[in-house]
Structure 1
Amino acid sequence: MEEAAPRPVGLEPVPGESAGSFVRRLAQINDVPVADVLREAGARRVQEWDPCAHEVFFSDQAVDRLAVMAWRTPEELRRTLPTLAVGADSGRQRPVRIVPWPAHWTVLEPCAGCLARRDDVVAPVWLASGERWHVCVRHGRWLRDASEGGPGQVNLAELKEVVQAHRRWTRLQQRVGPYARALLADAFQVAGCWWQTRQMGSETVWAQRERMLGVGRQLWSVPLVVYPEAVVLAEAMTVYERQRCWGRDFDNGAPGWVSRHWLAFVGERLNMSEEMEQGGYRMLREWTLQHRITTPVVARLAQQTPPPGYRSEPLRPMEPHLTLPERGPLEDASCLHWRLGQAVTDLV
C-alpha cells in the first residue's frame, strides 16, 4: 500500500514580515525547497535570492495560492505581510516576481522579545518596513537598519522617554492623518541640524542619552537620541499648520513669515527657551519660510474663526507637502533639503 504524502503544515505570519521571509519559513517548516513553494504559487523560473537583498512580489492569484499552502486566508496575509498590498500592481505581468528591494522599503530584524513569545520560528525572520526604524512599545526596543552601521536593535530599558514619545507619535498620526509623517520628517531635519551644530539639547539631554547608549556622537544614533524632542516639535508644527490651514498666524500674531510667539512656544515645549533664543530659532525660521501663509491679509481678516473641534480633524496636504510619500527615508518627505552629515553653514 502506497504511503500517504505528509500533510502540509500551516504557518502564521509575523506582523510586518516580508513575503520572502514568510515563503522561506513556510518551505522550511514543511521541509520542501523554497522553489517548490514559489512554483506552486505560480512562478515559472526561480533563481537564487537573498531575503535581505530581494523581495518576492505576488499577484492576487498568487496570494490566493500562497494562502492555501499556509492554511491562511488571503486577507490575513495581505493584512500582515506589507508588500502584498502592492503586489497586485507589481505583479501584473508575472504571478511571482523576485526583485531587488525597492528603495522605499527597509529590511529590519523583528523585535527579539516578540519572537521569543512564538514557537513556530524555524528560520530567520525579516520585516518589510516603510520606515528606516521602528519602536516596539511592548518590549521597549528600537529596531533599525543595521546596514547603515550600528546595531539592528537597541534596548530602551534606560530610555523610556523614547517609548513614551512613540506612543505620542502614534496618537498624533491618528489625529492628523498622513500629513503627520511630513511634519515628523521636518522635525527630524530640524533636530538633526541642532544636533550636528551642537545647539539645543546636544550638550545636555542628548549627550546624556548617548552616554546611556554608550555610543558617543554617532550619526546612526541621531534619530534615536533626538526622537522625544522631534515628536514634541512635530506636535508644535501641527499647531502651527492648523492655524495656517485657516490663513491665521499662531496665537493671532501679526501677519508675517515668522511668528515669534510660535518660536517661543516651541522653546517652552522643549524646555529649551534659552537655547532657542541663542540660535536654535534659525533652523525653525527656515521651516517657517517654507510654510509661510500666502492668504492675503485682507482675506485673512475677513475669514470666520475655525469651527469647534477643528484641532482634532485630519490636516489636508498644503504647500510644500502636496505629495505625501507613504514610505521611504523620512528626509525624502521633508521640505528641508539639508541632510544629516552635510554642511549646514548656509542655515545657521
Structure 2
Amino acid sequence: MTETKARIAILGASGYTGSELVRLLARHPRVEIVALTADRKAGQSMADVFPQFGKLALPKLVTIDEVAWAHVDLAFCALPHGTTQQVIKRVLEAAPHIKMVDLSADFRLRDPGAYEQWYGHAHQALELQQEAVYGLVELYRDDIRKARLIANPGCYTTTAILPVVPLIEAGAIEPEGLVIDAKSGVTGAGRSAKESLLYTEVTDGMHAYGVANHRHTAELDQEYSKAAGRTIVPSFTPHLIPMSRGIYATIYAKTGAGVGAADVHRVLTDFYKSEPFVHVLPLGQVPQTRFVKGSNMIVMGVVADRQPGRVILISTTDNLVKGASGQAVQNMNLVLGFPETLGLEQLALFP
C-alpha cells in the first residue's frame, strides 16, 4: 500500500532558493509538488527557466493568486524580504490548514521592535510573527514539530549560531566580545540582476559589505542573547567572495575560566554527536567550503589561539542548502512527521 504524499507549493520558484527546493523535493519520496509560483515568469514552465528540470513532470509557473490552496498541505515561501509577511497572512487566512516554511527574514525576529529597527518599517502580521518558530532544527526541533509557521534562519546565522550557542550555554566561551568574520558566495545575494553582482564586478577580488549593519546581525543578537540570558552584541562582518555557493565563518571568542580549546571541542562534539547534519572535525582541523557544497551539512572546527584564553571556531555551510532550502526541507520533514533526513542524504560535490 503506497503512502499518501504531501502536496507542496513553492512560492518564488524561479529564484535560487526556489529552484534549489525543486531540486531537493523532485526526488523526495513523500511529497508531490503541486504548485510553483513566479511573478515575471508566470506562464512559463520550470524547464524554460531552469533547463535542468526538463525531464521532470512539474506544474507550470503561475501567480500566487492562481494557486488552489485547498489542495496544498505545506508551502515554502521563497520570496524577497518585506513582501512575504503580507502573502503568508493572506494565505493562512484563506487556508489555515496549511503549514508554511518561510525562507525570508520576515518572521525570524521575535521582538517587533527589533524587526522595525532592522527592516525600517513596522511588521504587517504581528500575530503571525509571535506564532512563528525559528527554524534552526538542532536547537528548536521539538517546537518545530508542533508549529504552523516556520521562520527558516539566514545562511550566515545558521553558520554562526550553531557553533556558538552550545558553548555559551555551557559556559565554555564568554559571550561578550564575540567577533564573526564571514564570507559568502554570490548566490547569497539572490538572482536579481544587479550591477554589483556582474562577473566582472565580483571575480578576482573580495569585499566587505553591510559592515556593522547587516540585517543578519539581528538574528545573532537574538540567539546569542537567549543563550546567555542577557543582552549580547557581537561584531559581525560579511564579505562577498567570487564563488557561486558557500558560507565560511571564522569566529573569535574568549574561553570561560579554566576552559581550554580541548574543552570547547568536547562541548561541541558531545552536543552534536547524534545530529545527522553536523560534523565537528578533530581538534585543530579546519573545514573547507568544498566539504559541504551541495549538501545539507555544516562542518565546524576548533583551533586553539596562540593567545591563552582564546579560541577560534570555523564553520562552513552551503548557503543554498543548509543555509536555506535544505534546512527548509529539514523543517518540512519535522512538521509533516517524516524522517528528518529524508530527501537530504546528498553528499558534498567534489571537486
TM-score using structure 1 length: 0.28
More strand by share: 2
Q: TM-score, normalised by structure 2?
A: 0.28
Return the index of the structure with the highest Cα Rg: 1
